[in-house]
Amino acid sequence: MKVRLIKSWQEQLADEFAKPYFEVLAKFVRDEYQEFSCYPPGKDIFTAFDLCPFDKVRVVILGQDPYHGPGQAHGLCFSVPDGITHPPSLINILKELQQDMGKPYPQSGALTPWVQQGVLLLNATLTVRAGQAGSHQKKGWEPFTDAVIDKLSTHAKGLVFMLWGNYAKQKGKHIDRNKHLVLEAGHPSPLSANRGLWFGNKHFSKANTYLVEQGKTAIDW
């Protein structure tokens, strides 16, 4: 697995690519993609980074691993390409956005416009075997994405981190909460949302209020 990232991320993560764990991870991913159907397509594994330069990040939304159904995953957590049916978690995210910001429910589930404004849509695990949620967990992606969070926490200031669900909250230990805003809620999946742990969190408006207080531009969600 050759990693070609835009310059800003390459500079931040070069040390990670040189570590033994990443070499093991790269071999695992290569073997999996050769033997099985895996998502997202190889060219999209690092899309979240390629579309959102390090120095442009304003908000980080953390997911667990990519969608494992055909055509769904395209390298951005919770997002699906144009024309793909919205998965349940995405439906609940967009419903909360609708309630919080008064936005009409969108036809497209592609969250690319967010990314282009500095929202890093980062999965903790960047790949998955088709039909097998969590199948690429504990293979090396977690220390890599921990390093991503640590770099952002250390070298940036005034970011918003949205941690949805227990898995994402555990990754929050790498964030300096004196420098950044950390927003936590239940996972947007129906299981969590139906237990009252998701709707009404108002993360989108809270993020914008904080960004403006930091002298930054609000996100057009």
- Please identify every residue annotated as catalytic: 65
Q: Which residue has the tokens 């494992």?
A: 68
Q: Which two tokens stand for residue 194?
A: 């139906």
Q: How many CB atoms lie within 10 A of CB 193?
A: 21
Q: What angle do CA 201, 71, 122 make, to 5 degrees?
A: 40
CA distance 84 to 40: 14
Q: Which two tokens stand for residue 156?
A: 């940036």
What is the residue type of 119?
V
- For residue 61, the SS3 value is strand
Which residue, among 186, 84, 171, has the nearest Cα to 122 in the 3D structure? 171
